[in-house]
Amino acid sequence: MNSELYLAALVVQEAQMGLMVLDSNENIVLFNEWLVKAACLPEKDAIGKNLLQLFPELQGTRLQSAVETSLQKGFPSLLSQSLNRTPFPIYAGAEEYKTGIRMEQLIHVIPLKGGGITPQRHCIIQIANVSEAVRREKILIEQAKELRRNLITDGLTGIYSRRYWEEQTLIEFRKARRDCSPVAMMMLDVDLFKHFNDTYGHPEGDLCLQRVARAAANELKRPRDILARYGGEEFVALLPETNLEGAAVVSERIVKAIQNLQIPHLKSNVAPYVTLSIGVACGFPVGGDTQETIISEADQALYAAKHLGRNRVVLRKDEFFFTTGNIKITSGIL
CA 184 to chain centre: 28
Q: Are residues 257 and 117 in the same domain?
A: no
CA 153, CA 161: separation in Å to the nearest integer?
5
CATH number of the domain within which 31 lies: 3.30.450.20
**What does DSSP assign to residue 102?**
P
pLDDT tens digits, 166-208: 999 999 999 999 999 999 999 999 999 999 999 999 999 999 9
Identify whether 233 is a catalytic site residue: yes
Residue 329 lies in a domain: no
Q: Are residues 96 and 222 in the same domain?
A: no
Residue 55 lies in a domain: yes
Q: Are residues 124 and 172 in the same domain?
A: no
The count of structural domains within the chain is 2
Give the least confident one: 163-172, 299-308, 315-324: 315-324
pLDDT tens digits, 76-109: 999 988 788 899 999 988 888 888 999 999 999 9
Give the least confident one: 2-6, 168-172, 173-177, 248-252: 2-6
Query: Mean pLDDT, to the nearest integer, of 304-315?
Result: 94
Residue 165 confidence (pLDDT)? 94
**pLDDT higher than 90, residue 316:** no
253 — phi, psi (to 5°)? -60, -40
- SS3 at position 278: strand
198 — phi, psi (to 5°)? -65, -30
Cα–Cα separations (whole angstroms), residue 290 to 241, 275, 287, 297, 333: 15, 30, 9, 11, 20
The amino acid occupying position 324 is T
Residue 44 lies in a domain: yes
Range of the domain at 125: 3-131
CA 77, CA 179: separation in Å to the nearest integer?
49
Q: Are residues 173 and 318 in the same domain?
A: yes
Query: Mean pLDDT, to the nearest integer, of 13-18?
Result: 86
Residue 4 confidence (pLDDT)? 64
Which residue in 172, 219, 233, 297 is the catalytic one?
233
Residue 334 confidence (pLDDT)? 41
